[in-house]
Structure 1
Amino acid sequence: MRFSVYSKKASLVGAFFVCACMALPAWAFCPAPRDARLVEVARVVDGDTLRLADGRSVRMIGLNTPEQGGKGKQAEAFAQAATRELQKRVRASANQVMLEAGDDPRDRYGRLLAHVYDRRGDNLEAALLAEGLGYVVAVAPNTRLLDCHLDAEKAARDQRKGLWRKPPIQSVADVSQGGFALLSGRVKSVDRNRGGLWLDMGHSLVLNVPLQQASAFTEYHPGSLVGREVEVRGWVVDRAGRTQSSGQARWSLRITHPSMLAIRRD
């Protein structure tokens, strides 16, 4: 009888633990760095960039938030909301955060690439993704928290939070400017050369998987993609002028990680 009572108690405790875990947001399980030191934040530049008191600029890994605008351009939808959310979380952390630099620690602008955590150890990229205030971006080798970030974005997408209230997916036929985009379209053909894999999407747009990264795309055999509807994200580049004479597509988008490409189910 004692064993039976103990078993019931253990079952109740186990059930409570499982329920408690299920109630936590997915991003709550993003692992925080060990023995990380707090650094002072001077200001929040935008939804994915911080300026530290020591003068360093930090670009948050795995997160791309809508652009603030400037130089005659209007701010994108939810750009200000993303900035305000990051400001709120930094203030709640007494303007101090923990940093974990990426394996590739600098971007082309010299900014520190890092995961950012508040004083409690909550990952701030995942927090904004869970609110629907940004997109997951993956650039190898800085992919340690990719699964956690994808879970956070999926939760926001499923709940239609933030920018997912009105799905921001754009048809490849509607591409008219450079910059970050979430696109959908059908693969017309796939070629391979010294520049890597090239997926022709029609409408003068090609997707490029650099040769040095092609081996990571084991899930997608090039031939199997022809005729398939795909969703892809990344930075669209306008190649007008330097490519018109060669007959190449005007628009290109480099796929930096397999997670940036998904086959859409018909």
Structure 2
Amino acid sequence: MSAFRGKRCALWIICQSAFFVVWLFIAGGPARADLRCQPFAPLEKVAVTHVYDGDTVKLDDGRKVRLIGINATEPGRDGQPDQPFAAEARDRLRSLIKATSQLHLLTDGQTHDRYGRILAHLFNERGESLEQILLEQGLAYHVAVPPNLTLADCFASAEQLAVKQQRGLWSKAGIAPVAARDVQDGGFKRLQGTVTAVQTGRHWRLVLDDVIKVMIYPEHRHRFEAKQLNSLQGQQVEIQGWVYRSRGEWRIKLETPHGMVFSR
């Protein structure tokens, strides 16, 4: 397990009209075996006809659904092998769908992504989240992407159960974090590095090992506190998200505190 994953910032206190952010360094996180990520709005009964991978399915009416809150590893394409646990995640999702007599769809604040896919949660007939099950078994990473954050805290706890027990992706057979200095391509990554610069003026960003910028765009700043970000100078951190190329440099977006793990 990564040495940086043990302590997470995740507790928010809202007082009157102002946000007061308290970052807790919690060894191992609050994961519980009896945790249940429950539906929070009316459900739509659906039927799944195809499972593409561990986080994407097709419904019988032709809609393609990208599951909220998780990112499974990628099946191999163009002669490339599967990423670790990609087949296991796909097969487990298939078995969960086959085992339920009734499936229910639940959307959150944003209902579609830029590819036209439905963004939604899937629940079985007992009201159990299929995403939660995959996270607890270490078959997907938790990704908290605004505005679909209603179950983000619950999913973070589900993932911590897999982390503590070193299941799936968090076992020795999983994917190791990438050092910031070693990044050579984009895509979803767990980046590790030392915070060598912090900017909380006009633009908010962290710099890892002088080579990768961690971007906190204006629409996400309300989830962070400048004082706490400034305190990260010199800290070793892990940033989880999608790496992309912009203006000749590698960048990664940080949208919520769930995307950062760090140690004192």
- The TM-score normalised by the length of structure 2 is 0.82
1:258 paired to 2:264? no
1:81 paired to 2:80? no
What CA deviation, in whole Å up to 9, does each residue of 1:136-195 have, x standing for no partner? 10011111111111111101110011111126322212222111011211100012465x
Stretches of structure 1 lacking an aligned partner (at least 5 in a row): 1-23, 245-249
Whichever of the two has the greater Rg, that structure is 1
Return structure 1 stretches of 4+ with deviation > 3 angstroms: none
* Partner SS state of residue 47, structure 2: strand
Stretches of structure 2 lacking an aligned partner (at least 5 in a row): 1-31
Distance 1:81 1:26 in 2: 23
- Does the 8 Å CA contact 2:197/2:210 hold for their aligned counterparts? no
- Does the 8 Å CA contact 1:26/1:151 hold for their aligned counterparts? no
- Does the 8 Å CA contact 2:41/2:106 hold for their aligned counterparts? no
Q: How many residues align?
A: 231
* Partner SS state of residue 44, structure 1: strand
1:61 paired to 2:68? yes
Distance 1:257 1:102 in 2: 16
- The TM-score normalised by the length of structure 1 is 0.81
What amino acid does structure 1 have at the position aligned with 2:256? H
Distance 2:227 2:182 in 1: 25
* Identity score, percent: 36
- Does the 8 Å CA contact 2:200/2:226 hold for their aligned counterparts? no
Q: How does 1:1-266 map to 2 (within 5 A)?
A: 25-27=33-35, 29-33=36-40, 35-94=42-101, 96-166=102-172, 168-192=176-200, 196-202=203-209, 204-218=211-225, 221-239=228-246, 243-244=247-248, 250-265=249-264
Relative contact order (C-alpha < 8 Å, sep 6+): which is higher? 2
Cα distance, 1:25 vs structure 2 = 2.5
Distance 1:69 1:238 in 2: 23
* Partner SS state of residue 109, structure 1: coil
Cα distance, 1:32 vs structure 2 = 2.4
What amino acid does structure 2 have at the position aligned with 1:30? C
- CA gap 1:199/1:38 in 2 versus in 1, 3 angstroms: same
Q: CA RMSD in A?
A: 1.9
- Does the 8 Å CA contact 2:71/2:143 hold for their aligned counterparts? yes
- Does the 8 Å CA contact 2:44/2:106 hold for their aligned counterparts? no
Distance 1:127 1:205 in 2: 33
What amino acid does structure 2 have at the position aligned with 1:134? A
- Does the 8 Å CA contact 2:178/2:191 hold for their aligned counterparts? yes
Cα distance, 1:31 vs structure 2 = 1.2
Distance 2:161 2:124 in 1: 21
Distance 1:219 1:233 in 2: 20
Structure having the larger proportion of residues in strand = 2
